[in-house]
């Protein structure tokens, strides 16, 4: 895909005052593909002057902060109160992964892991994800059949 051409089209709409969320998010994805993270942050801030940032934008900003080593801003995002039910399955996992990458030894990881598993216990991949994350954290499983 020719991202620069797509970006030019998006820019024309934005110059005309079109602050459509989907247009902004599409343009942000294009800039992400060409690794122009400063422009992505600029767009997020521009959108934020008129509208509340979407979860997509907040998470994109957090990923960029991680990549660029802006840990103060990333920590500010990660230390906010989080409602995993409101975030949905995918963003809950993404929050968990961002937190893991920044705080791989934090006891909060286990809290988040169990909370996400509890909320999404009926999701088709929840149990598999839970086991993989437990292994990544290098935690022993409790075998309910084995009693010492």
pLDDT tens per residue, range 114-132:
999 999 999 999 999 999 9
- pLDDT score, position 20: 83
- Half-sphere exposure of residue 99: CA atoms within 13 angstroms, side-chain side: 23
CB atoms within 10 A of CB 36: 17
Q: Are 27 and 11 in contact (CB under 8 A)?
A: yes
- pLDDT score, position 147: 45
Q: For the chain, what is the mean pLDDT? A: 89
CB atoms within 10 A of CB 20: 13
b/e burial code for range 121-143 (CB count within 10 A of at least 16 → b): eeeeebeebbeebbeeeeeeeee
The pTM score is 0.81
Provide the pLDDT confidence category of residue 144 given band limits of 50, 70 and 90: very low
């Amino acid at each position: 895909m020719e991202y620069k051409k797509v970006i030019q089209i998006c820019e024309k709409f934005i110059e005309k005052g079109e602050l459509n969320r989907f247009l902004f998010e599409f343009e942000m994805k294009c800039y992400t593909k060409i690794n122009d993270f400063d422009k992505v942050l600029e767009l997020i801030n521009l959108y934020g002057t008129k509208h509340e940032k979407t979860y997509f934008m907040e998470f994109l900003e957090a990923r960029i902060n991680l990549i660029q080593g802006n840990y103060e801003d990333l920590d500010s995002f990660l230390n906010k109160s989080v409602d995993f039910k409101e975030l949905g399955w995918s963003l809950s996992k993404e929050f968990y992964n961002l937190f893991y990458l920044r705080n791989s030894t934090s006891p909060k990881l286990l809290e988040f892991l169990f909370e996400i598993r509890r909320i999404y216990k009926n999701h088709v991949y929840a149990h598999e994800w839970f086991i993989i994350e437990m292994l990544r954290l290098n935690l022993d499983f409790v075998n309910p059949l084995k009693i010492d």
